[in-house]
């Protein structure tokens, strides 16, 4: 087995590299301005601080003693120095447990914030809000029980010996933590994976997305294993491995979806593949639109031009949408998929003539998004050409006698 100090710092290095890549990618995508960072970025910064505390303290705890003593242990032989070290180790166990809880639930919070942005116009949005309430409620309840109920007075957490087994073994807390943690993880997978499976995109793009969130299965396995060793081998060191593995994998899952922009820029990777709107042969530019002032979409975090780009105006509307659809992160793909679904079958003069040519033609009272406007405009252009062609074809088949201006059929012709 790899020494714990080596494995733990390898995990830490991987998490920090991926987290740094996430922040750099978001910095590039959001207009190279920190003020445009979204809520999950700030939550992740706080979570990384607790994760760093976890890695540092758990390496100390792995080589320290605590007030958790074997049954029948004679405390009369404990020296003053040993007592001081055990009290110090017991306090660090408390820090490790709190840091791990905040890290795990913070990673859940980041994913749920992202889920809420993804499902703004989807039926899963209500389920995500309910799940977010459950995650927040279980965290608050778990903290109240751990810090204020299971072990009273609070100083018994490092008392030697402690009169309450909940102050050293923390059995009730571990059971509560396992139930709340596993149920919320399973619910997140149950809602998230089907949503990604329904995406209309090539499997070459879909499989990596599903793979990222399938790492959540490993997070669940790690959560089970750390509780198995915490209950089965409380005096062993195996539980510390699984604490680090669970926390590290959870943070990797929460950060991986946002790192692609940076590595596309570094390695010159462009996105390819087909969606409903056609081939994605272009890489979207996250920088400032040439010659134009730019703003940031508060929901997507995508930079949008507030003016008309001459280069984009020279292309067809659907080509313009394809340009904005290529090489996106999975979050941007899903949101673009939602817009495509909304505008997939727009009302046009060809399909709904009464809406456009009738005396009671409906007025559009809802402001169209740029992508929906592009789709509708392209459809109008195509339908106009199609209808014109059909009229010309029908006119060509009409007898010459019927084409004369003002010509009328005689009554005998109806006989």
Summarised one tens digit per residue, pLDDT across range 106-153 is 999 999 998 898 887 777 889 999 999 999 999 999 999 999 999 999
Question: In 3-state terms, what secondary structure has residue 269?
Answer: coil
Residue 227's pLDDT is what? 93
Q: Whole-angstrom Cα distance, residue 225 to residue 246? A: 9
Summarised one tens digit per residue, pLDDT across range 303-329 is 443 433 333 333 333 344 433 433 444
Summarised one tens digit per residue, pLDDT across range 199-248 is 676 777 677 777 777 788 999 999 999 999 999 888 888 999 999 999 99
**pLDDT over threshold 70, residue 160:** yes
Phi-psi region of 170 (alpha: psi -120 to 50; beta: other; left: phi over 0): left
Q: How many C-alpha atoms does 173 have within 13 Å on its Cβ side?
A: 24
Query: Cα angle vertex 286, ends 334, 13, to 5°?
Result: 80
Rounded to 5 degrees, φ, ψ at 275 are -130, -170
Contact 253, 212 (CB under 8 A): yes
Rounded to 5 degrees, φ, ψ at 276 are -60, -25
Residues in contact with 395: Cβ distance below 8 Å, sequence separation at least 6, in sequence order: 403
**pLDDT over threshold 70, residue 93:** yes
Contact 212, 257 (CB under 8 A): yes
Contact 130, 95 (CB under 8 A): no
DSSP per position, 282-320:
-PPP-SPPTTS-EEE-TTT--EEESS--HHHHTS-HHHH
User: Partners of 303 in the beta sheet?
Assistant: 296
Cα four-point dihedral sign 239, 5, 54, 18 = negative
User: Partners of 278 in the beta sheet?
Assistant: 275
Mean pLDDT of 22-35: 85
């Amino acid at each position: 087995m790899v020494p714990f100090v080596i494995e733990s710092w390898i995990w830490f290095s991987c998490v920090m590299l991926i987290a740094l890549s996430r922040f750099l990618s978001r910095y590039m995508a959001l207009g190279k301005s920190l003020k445009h960072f979204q809520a999950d970025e700030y939550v992740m910064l706080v979570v990384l601080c607790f994760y760093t505390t976890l890695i540092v303290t758990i390496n100390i705890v792995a080589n320290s003693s605590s007030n958790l003593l074997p049954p029948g242990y004679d405390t009369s032989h404990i020296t003053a120095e040993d007592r001081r070290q055990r009290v110090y180790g017991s306090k660090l166990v408390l820090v490790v447990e709190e840091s791990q809880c905040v890290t795990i639930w913070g990673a859940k919070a980041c994913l749920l914030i992202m889920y809420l942005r993804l499902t703004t116009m989807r039926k899963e949005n209500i389920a995500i809000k309910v799940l977010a309430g459950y995650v927040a409620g279980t965290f608050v309840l778990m903290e109240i029980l751990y810090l204020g109920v299971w072990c009273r007075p609070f100083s018994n957490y490092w008392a030697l010996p402690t009169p309450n087994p909940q102050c050293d073994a923390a059995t009730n807390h571990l059971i509560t933590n396992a139930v709340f943690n596993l149920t919320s993880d399973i619910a997140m997978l149950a809602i998230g994976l089907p949503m990604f499976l329904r995406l209309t995109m090539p499997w070459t793009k879909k499989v990596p997305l599903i793979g990222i969130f399938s790492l959540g299965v490993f997070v669940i396995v790690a959560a089970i294993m750390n509780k198995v060793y915490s209950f089965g081998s409380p005096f062993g060191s195996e539980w510390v491995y699984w604490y680090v593995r669970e926390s590290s994998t959870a943070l990797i899952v929460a950060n991986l979806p946002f790192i692609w922009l940076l590595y596309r820029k570094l390695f010159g990777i462009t996105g390819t593949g087909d969606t409903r709107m056609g081939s994605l042969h272009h890489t979207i530019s996250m920088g400032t639109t040439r010659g134009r002032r730019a703003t940031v979409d508060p929901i997507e975090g995508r930079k949008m031009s507030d003016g008309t780009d001459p280069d984009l105006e020279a292309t067809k509307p659907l080509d313009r949408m394809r340009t904005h659809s290529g090489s996106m992160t999975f979050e941007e793909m899903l949101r673009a998929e939602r817009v495509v679904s909304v505008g997939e079958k727009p009302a046009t003069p060809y399909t709904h003539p009464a809406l456009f040519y009738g005396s009671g033609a409906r007025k559009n009272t809802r402001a169209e998004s740029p992508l929906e406007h592009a789709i509708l405009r392209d459809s109008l252009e195509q339908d106009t050409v199609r209808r014109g062609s059909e009229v010309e074809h029908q006119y060509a088949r009409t007898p010459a006698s019927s084409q004369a201006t003002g010509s009328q059929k005689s009554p005998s012709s109806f006989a």
